[in-house]
C-alpha cells in the first residue's frame, strides 16, 4: 500500500481533499522520531505518545516498513497476553561517514543511522597543511572506511568535526564550505566531498561533537547536565542542559579560551596562558635551561619536544613539568569554577591529549573548582578525565549526523522517498554541482576493485 501511495504522490494534485500521501509526511516524521527516541518501542506506546489513532499508526508503520526505515521483526516480552512486536529504527539501512579534523590528527569512521560508531581510524596530520592535501587525505580515508564495510548499505550523509566554530544553528546540510580556518577561505571542501560521495555534508565544532560524544557514549550517558572542557591549543567548553547540547544563537558557545586570566603580574587569554602552546613553550625553556632533567635528556638525544612530552614527563615525576601543568590546570580551573557556579552541572569532563596523558591538570582543576564554588554546586559534582580520546569527536559527529538526518524540517522532505539522497533540495544542489566546473580533483583512491 505504501508503494501505491508514494507513486500517487508524484502525480499532479487535483482539487478537493489532499491525498493521504500528502498528509502522511508529518505523522511519519513524528512517528519515526518517536521510534528513534525510544528504540525499541511498541505500537501501543506509539499510539499513546503520538495521540494518533490505531488505524493511522498501523498505516504509517506499514509505510515506514515498506520504505525500509523501521524493523518490526522482533518480539518483546509478553505481560499477560501476546508478546508485543517491537518497533525499531532500521539503523542498518544507511551509513554515515564521520571525520574529526584536529590541529595535529585526522580521525575517520563509519556509523549506522542510530549514531553508533562501527569502525574508526586515527592518524597524525598537521592541519596547517594546504587544504587540497587535507581534502585528498580525508577523501582517501573516508572511501577506505566505507569500503571496509562488508554490508552493502548506502551512504546517507557525512558529518565532520572541525577545530573551530561553525556558524549557524539550522540543521540544513551545507552547500558551501564555512571558513572555519583561515586557509579554508574559498576552498570548496564541502563541495568536493558532496561530489565525491554524493551525500549531504554537515559540520560542527570539535567541542560540540566531543560534548555530544561524551554525552551519548562516555561519562555523560544518561545525565541531564554536563560541562565538557577541551584543552589543546585552544580551550573550549561544551554545555549540556536538559540532556541537550546548548549551541546559543550562532553556534558559538563555550569560547572560554578568549577570557582574560592573570598569573602574578602577567595577563592574557586563557588560550595563551594555559593552552598547549604555553605548555610547549615553557617545556622547551625548562629543557634548555636544564630545569627539567627529563626534557633536557630528551633534547640531548636529538628529540623534538612536544606538549605531549611535557605532559608525559610530568606524569613520570619531573618537577619542572609538574609545575607547568599545575599552572595550566589552576588557570583553567578558575574559569571552569565560574562556569560551574553559573550552570551547576552534574559532571565536568576534561578532554584533550595533554589531559589524557596525566592526572596533574585534572587534580589542579579539581582543586580550583572545589575551592571557588558554592558548597551546593560541588556537593554531588564529579570532575573526571575523558576516557574516549578522539573517539568522542567521532561518536559525537555520528550522533550529530544521525540527528540532523532526522530533524523534522529535513526529514519531512525526504521521508516519502525513503532516502535523504532523494531530498529535493539536496538533489537540486547535486545537480548544480554537476553543472558547475569541477574543482581540482583529489588523487584517485586506491583501486580495490577485486575486493
- Give the binding site for other proteins (CB under 8 A): 100, 102, 105, 107, 109, 116-124, 137, 140-141, 144, 148, 150, 217-218, 308, 312, 315-316, 353, 356-357, 359, 387-391, 443, 446-448, 450-451
Instruction: Name the one residue in this structure whose C-alpha cell is 573526571.
Output: 384
Of 59 and 120, nearer to other proteins (C-beta) is 120
Joined together, the cell numbers standing for residue 135 give 581534502
CB of 209 to other proteins, least distance (A): 13
Long-range contacts of 16-24, Cβ-Cβ distance < 8 Å, separation of 24 or more: 20/59, 21/416, 24/59, 24/60, 24/63, 24/416
Residue 218 or 418 having the CB closest to other proteins = 218
- Neighbouring residues of 362: CB distance < 8 A, sequence distance ≥ 6: 329, 350, 355, 383, 384, 385
| Closer residue to other proteins in complex, CB, 105/433 | 105
Min dist. Cβ of residue 298 to other proteins (A): 11
CA angle at residue 142 from 88 to 179, to 5 degrees?
A: 100
Q: CB nearer to other proteins: give 357 or 378.
A: 357
Shortest separation between residue 54's beta carbon and other proteins, angstroms: 36
Grid cell for residue 416: 516519502
Whether the Cβ atoms of residue 408 and residue 33 lie closer than 8 Å to each other: yes
Which residues, listed in sequence order, are joined to residue 351 by a DSSP beta bridge? 230
In three-state secondary structure terms, 219 is coil
Q: Strand, helix or coil at 100?
A: strand
Q: How many Cβ atoms are within 10 Å of 26's Cβ, its own excluded? A: 11
Pick between residue 121 and residue 412 the one whose CB is nearest to other proteins. 121
Q: CB of 210: closest distance to other proteins in angstroms?
A: 11
Neighbouring residues of 12: CB distance < 8 A, sequence distance ≥ 6: none
Least Å distance between CB 308 and other proteins? Answer: 5
**Residue number with CB closer to other proteins (165 or 351):** 351
Nearer to other proteins, 384 or 433 (CB): 384
Cα 264 to Cα 23: distance, rounded to the nearest angstrom:
66
Q: What is the DSSP letter of 306?
A: -
**Nearer Cβ to other proteins, position 196 or 241?**
196
Give the residue with the Cβ less far from other proteins, 54 or 448: 448
Q: Least distance to other proteins from the beta carbon of 385, Å? A: 8
CB of 107 to other proteins, least distance (A): 6
Residue with Cβ nearer other proteins (105 or 252): 105
How far apart are alpha carbons 235 and 240 in whole angstroms? 17
Tell me which residue of 428, 414, 408, 235 sits closest to 333, measured CA to CA: 235
Give whichever of 283 and 420 is closer to other proteins, judged by the CB atom: 283
Closer to other proteins by Cβ: residue 118 or 263: 118
| CA atoms of 118 and 115, how far apart (whole Å) | 9
With H, G, I as helix, E, B as strand and everything else as coil, classify residue 249.
Answer: coil
End-to-end Cα, the chain, rounded Å? 38
Q: How far is the CB of 450 from other proteins (least distance, A)?
A: 4
* Cα maximum dimension of the chain: 87
- Residue 201 forms beta bridges with which residues? 158
Whole-angstrom distance, CA of residue 253 vs CA of residue 241: 13
Residue 92: CB minimum distance to other proteins, A: 11
CB of 353 to other proteins, least distance (A): 6
Tell me how far, at minimum, the Cβ of 254 lies from other proteins, in Å.
21
- Taken in order 35, 37, 38, 43, the sign of the CA dihedral is negative
Residue 235 CB, shortest distance to other proteins, in Å, is 18
List CB contacts of 138: < 8 A, sequence separation 6 or more.
99, 101, 106, 108, 189, 193
Q: In 168-273, where do the E strands start and end?
A: 201-205, 226-231, 235-241, 244-245, 260-263, 266-269
Q: What is the rounded distance in angstroms from the CA atom of residue 410 to the CA atom of residue 403?
A: 10
Amino acid at each position: 500500500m505504501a508503494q501505491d501511495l508514494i507513486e500517487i504522490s508524484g502525480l499532479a494534485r487535483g482539487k478537493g481533499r489532499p491525498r493521504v500521501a500528502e498528509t502522511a509526511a508529518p505523522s511519519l516524521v513524528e512517528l519515526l522520531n518517536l521510534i528513534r527516541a525510544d528504540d525499541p518501542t511498541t505500537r501501543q506506546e506509539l499510539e499513546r505518545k503520538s495521540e494518533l489513532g490505531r488505524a493511522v499508526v498501523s498505516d504509517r508503520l506499514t509505510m515506514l516498513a515498506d520504505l525500509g526505515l523501521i524493523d518490526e521483526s522482533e518480539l518483546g516480552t509478553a505481560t499477560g497476553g501476546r508478546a508485543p512486536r517491537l518497533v525499531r529504527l532500521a539503523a542498518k539501512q544507511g551509513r554515515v561517514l564521520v571525520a574529526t579534523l584536529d590541529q595535529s590528527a585526522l580521525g575517520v569512521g563509519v556509523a549506522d543511522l542510530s549514531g553508533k560508531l562501527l569502525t574508526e581510524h586515527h592518524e597524525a596530520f598537521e592541519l596547517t597543511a594546504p587544504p587540497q592535501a587535507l581534502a585528498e587525505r580525508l577523501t582517501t580515508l573516508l572511501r577506505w572506511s566505507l569500503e571496509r564495510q562488508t554490508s552493502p548499505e548506502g551512504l546517507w550523509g557525512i558529518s565532520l568535526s572541525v577545530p573551530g566554530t561553525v556558524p549557524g544553528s539550522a540543521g540544513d546540510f551545507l552547500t558551501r564550505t564555512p571558513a572555519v580556518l583561515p586557509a579554508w577561505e574559498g576552498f570548496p571542501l564541502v563541495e568536493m566531498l558532496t561530489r565525491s560521495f554524493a551525500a549531504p555534508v554537515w559540520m560542527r565544532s570539535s567541542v560540540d561533537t566531543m560534548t555530544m560524544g561524551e554525552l551519548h557514549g562516555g561519562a555523560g550517558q544518561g545525565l541531564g547536565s554536563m560541562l565538557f572542557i577541551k584543552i589543546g591549543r585552544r580551550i573550549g567548553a561544551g554545555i549540556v542542559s536538559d540532556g541537550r547540547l546548548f549551541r546559543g544563537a550562532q553556534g558559538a558557545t563555550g569560547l572560554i579560551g578568549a577570557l582574560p586570566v592573570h598569573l602574578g603580574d602577567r595577563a592574557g587569554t586563557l588560550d595563551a596562558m594555559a593552552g598547549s602552546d604555553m605548555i610547549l613553550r615553557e617545556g622547551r625553556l625548562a629543557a634548555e635551561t636544564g630545569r627539567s632533567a627529563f626534557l633536557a635528556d630528551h633534547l640531548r638525544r636529538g628529540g623534538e619536544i612536544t606538549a605531549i612530552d611535557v605532559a608525559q614527563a610530568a606524569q613520570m615525576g619531573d618537577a619542572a613539568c609538574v609545575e607547568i601543568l599545575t599552572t595550566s590546570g589552576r588557570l583553567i580551573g578558575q574559569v571552569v569554577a565560574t562556569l560551574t557556579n553559573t550552570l551547576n552541572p552534574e559532571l565536568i569532563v576534561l578532554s584533550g591529549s595533554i589531559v589524557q596523558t596525566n592526572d596533574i591538570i585534572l587534580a589542579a582543576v579539581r582543586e580550583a573548582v572545589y575551592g571557588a564554588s558554592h558548597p551546593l554546586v560541588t556537593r554531588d559534582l564529579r570532575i573526571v578525565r575523558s576516557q574516549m580520546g578522539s573517539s568522542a569527536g567521532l561518536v559525537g559527529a555520528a550522533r550529530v549526523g544521525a540527528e540532523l538526518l532526522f530533524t523534522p524540517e529535513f526529514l519531512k522532505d525526504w521521508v516519502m522517498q525513503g532516502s535523504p539522497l532523494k531530498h529535493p533540495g539536496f538533489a537540486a544542489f547535486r545537480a548544480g554541482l554537476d553543472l558547475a566546473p569541477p574543482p581540482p580533483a583529489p588523487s584517485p583512491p586506491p583501486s580495490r576493485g577485486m575486493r
